[in-house]
Amino acid sequence: MQIAGPITRTLTPGLDTGARLERRRQLLCLGLAAPALLALGVFLFYPVVRLLLRSVFDPSPTLDNYVRAFAVPQYLGVLWYTLQTSVTVTILCLVLGYPLAYALAEARGSARSVMLVFLLLPFWTSIMVRTYAWMVILGDQGLINTWLLQLGIISRKLPLLFNSFAVHVGMVHYLLPFAVLPMFSIMVRLDRTLLRAAQSLGAGPWHVFWRVYLPLSLPGVLAGALLVFILATGFFVTPSQLGGRSDVMVAQLIQLQIMRFTNWGFGGALAVLLLVLVALALLLYSRVGRLSTLWGMGE
Amino acid sequence: MEATPAADTAPGVLTRRAFLRILAGTSLTLAGLGLASTATAAPRSAPAAQSGTVKILSAGGQLDECFRQTIWTPYAQESGLSIVDIGGSEPAKIKAAFEANNVEWDICEAWTEVIAAGIPAGWFVEVPWDQLSNGGDLFPELRGTTFARYGVPIFLFSSVLGYNTNTYQSPDAAPKSWADFWDTDKFPGPRALYAFPEHQLEIALLADGVPPDQLYPLDVDRAFKSLDRIKPHIKTFYETGAQQVQLLSSGEVVMSSVWNGRMFAAKRDGQPVDFTFNQGILAVDHYAVLKGGPNTPDAWKVMNAMIDPKKQAALAGCIGYGPTNSKAFDGMDPALAAQLPSSPQNKPLQAIQDLASWSQMAQAITERYNAWKLG
């Protein structure tokens, strides 16, 4: 015979108040987040969803925009180049950023503050200015070529600008802090006693690093990789200014279709393809790592 | 593999699933409302004419600086109107304004893609030529073009052959024609072209030997074959006027197709660049009045001021673009006139761009040009 339900509720007042308290806490959370959610919803998600809808409804329900994106060879080629470049830039940022993050995590007090300032200082400069600076450094009459020629190290100018090399340099320069900061935040919270324990068990410095430190810092590495990759796929100023004629990334084509040609359906389709690329990266990440580490939970 | 199950489903915690559901729900509802509202939008009643203010959606940058200095600010003082210019004119902005039933500018710069989008969509007000007192003095061939119905020709500019004067130290040693640009034996060195095909196809055809008066209709295939020959020597494609000057003056390229106004200003600033009007491509820049703008009557007054001969002469002195009003040359300093594309000594050297055919084929050709650049 069931005597649960109403009788249970009156017989266990503690549970009832607990549940109500929890719901109030939930509502409070929602209330606090509501303004930000509303802003995000109105200014980010709503326009994005409208653009995505346009890609299949402009001018009438049709998949023509997607057919065009796949049929005209240049678009897939550009998407492929975007993917390639984003992956290489991500790897470069991780390789260069890991030792930097390590040094930051090991530094103490004022040394760390100074290093952080230098790492974050470039954010105060606009990307256009930084890109032009690279043109001055890498150009045929630029700093590097002039110095190397004068020192006699080279006899002919090196083609450092208007090619893939320059694009990579410019992108890595901009994205490096985005790789370093997540790695640094994980490394700094690493339990040092684990390293000492490994040493006390007889592990040499290389083994301590390879078997203990590196695996523990991996969540930071993955978070940094994901962040850099997502940002890299959307780049268009750097490739258009520093790149050669074949260094075209998909964001440049989207900009062309949307701003200049007002083909919002087709631009939307290209944007959807880019979004799919990023979503695939997120999917890959969620298989390999924990998505929750992206926002600091679960560790 | 996600967050620990306990944390995820504990009572009271705003789970990620719930959060994502709320977010998706909000945005889809908003999107649905948005689609519904555009479908059923009643045209907004035009806002009360803002008497005394005229808003111009213009090109921005140095061109606007010169416009402000020589035309807009002086006319604002003369007439008591307030003239506000907003840089960054793009077809997408205008299209968005029309879709939202909120056209906030009176005048816009109507370049090729703006025309291409605007005429079929009905963005422009027909020009009341009888109301424009200066209209009768414009060069006659500019009044007869297809676009003169909707746009007022304000200035003439040319795409010309620009070169670095450290490489070519005297005009005799310098390249003088597009055939020279294509001649990499006699004139070795990296070059630059425009990132968009406008004028570049004409240049390629002229280099291939097509006489200037037989350029149109463009033999596009022949132009691309000609471009293929110069492609290995093109170091980069510039997108802005500032880039052109930077590439040439820094010596990154030895020659480039350039806009004469940019060269005019760069030479004045002492940069090591020069150019020739020979075989230049002469183009018209129009400004148009947008339908549904806040202050159309005063907009036509401003347009009339923009084709006033004295003001056009002053503009030419600032940016080196050619006046469209023939009276502007009366009493002009001959040294200045020699540098303008529409002056009597320079105009005959050039070919005039056919804007009508360009505005129709710009998109298709740009796509082909982009593919060509990548290949």
For chain A, say whether B246 makes contact (Cβ under 8 Å): yes
Residues of B in contact with A26 (CB under 8 A): 12-14
> Is the pLDDT at A299 greater than 50, yes or no?
no
Span A26-38, average pLDDT: 90
Is the minimum CB–CB distance between B7 and chain A shorter than 8 Å? yes
Give the model's pLDDT for residue B46: 44
| Dist. CA B52–CA B70, nearest whole Å | 20
From A5-9, A286-290, B151-155, B250-254, the region with the lowest mean pLDDT: A5-9
Measured between CA atoms, how close is A62 to chain B, in angstroms?
16
Which segment of A187-191, A207-211, B6-10, B207-211 scores lowest on mean pLDDT? B6-10
> Please, which pLDDT band fits residue A59 given cuts at 50, 70 and 90?
low
Find the residue in A nearest to B29 (Cα).
A46
C-alpha span between B121 and B278 (Å, rounded): 37
The per-residue pLDDT for B7 is 45
Chains A and B: how many Cβ contacts under 8 Å? 115
In this complex, do B1 and A19 lie within 8 Å of one another by their Cβ atoms? no
pLDDT at A3: 47
pLDDT bucket at A292, cuts 50 / 70 / 90: low
A113 touching B (Cβ < 8 Å)? no
The parts of chain B modelled with pLDDT lower than 50 are 1-9, 42-49
Quick one: pLDDT at residue B231? 94
**Are B366 and A29 in contact (CB < 8 Å)?**
no
Nearest C-alpha in B relative to A145: B252
B242–chain A nearest CA distance, Å: 11
Separation in Å, CA of A181 to nearest CA in chain B: 22
Residue found under tokens 């700093």: A143
Secondary-structure breakdown of chain A: helix, strand, coil percentages, each rounded to the nearest 5: 80, 0, 20
Residue B1 confidence (pLDDT): 40
| Chain A residues within an 8 Å CB radius of B195 | 240
Alpha-carbon A166 to chain mean position: 20
- The string over B159-183, giving b where at least 16 C-beta atoms fall within 10 Å of a residue's C-beta and e elsewhere, is bbbbbbbebbeeeeebbeebebbbe
Per-residue pLDDT of B236-286, as tens digits, reads 999 888 889 989 998 899 999 999 998 998 999 999 999 999 999 999 999
Res. A244: pLDDT tops 90:
no
Q: What per-residue confidence (pLDDT) applies to B29?
A: 67
Under an 8 A CB cutoff, do B370 and A248 touch? yes
CA angle, A164 then A165 then A168, to 5° = 85
Place A61 in a pLDDT band, splitting at 50, 70 and 90.
Answer: confident
CATH class (in words) of the domain with range A56-108+162-295: mainly alpha
**What band does A297 get if pLDDT is binned at 50, 70 and 90?**
very low
CATH numbers and ranges of domains, chain B: 53-156+284-355 (3.40.190.10), 158-282 (3.40.190.10)
Residue of B250, B358, B369, B372 best to disrupt the A interface, most CBs of A under 10 A: B250
Q: Is some CB atom of chain A closer than 8 A to the CB atom of B234?
A: yes
Judge whether B63 and B242 are in contact, CB under 8 Å: no
Instruction: Give whichever of A21-35, A167-181, A235-249 has the largest mean pLDDT.
Output: A167-181
Q: Do A74 and B23 touch (CB under 8 A)?
A: no
Q: Which two tokens stand for residue B194?
A: 């425009």
What average pLDDT does this structure show over A136-149? 90
Across A70-76, average pLDDT: 86
- Is A141 an interface residue toward B (CB < 8 Å)? yes
Q: Do B237 and A245 touch (CB under 8 A)?
A: yes
Cβ of residue A240 closer than 8 Å to a chain B Cβ: yes
Contact B4 A298 (CB under 8 A): yes
| Structure confidence at residue B98 (pLDDT) | 94
Of the given ranges (A11-15, A107-111, A141-145, B320-324), which has the lowest mean pLDDT? Answer: A11-15
* Strands of chain B, DSSP E: 53-57, 82-86, 107-110, 151-164, 191-194, 234-238, 255-259, 273-289, 322-323, 351-352
Mutate to test the interface with B, among A241, A260, A264, A287 (most CBs of B within 10 A): A260
B368 at A interface, C-beta within 8 A: no
Residues of A in contact with B13 (CB under 8 A): 26
Is B31 close to A46, i.e. CB distance below 8 A?
Answer: yes
Using the beta-carbon criterion (under 8 Å), do A30 and B14 form an inter-chain contact? yes
Q: What amino acid occupies position B288? A: A
**Structure confidence at residue B14 (pLDDT):** 61
pLDDT at A188 over 80: yes
Ranking A56-70, A103-117, A148-162 by mean pLDDT, the lowest is A56-70
**The model's pTM:** 0.80
CA distance B55 to B126: 18
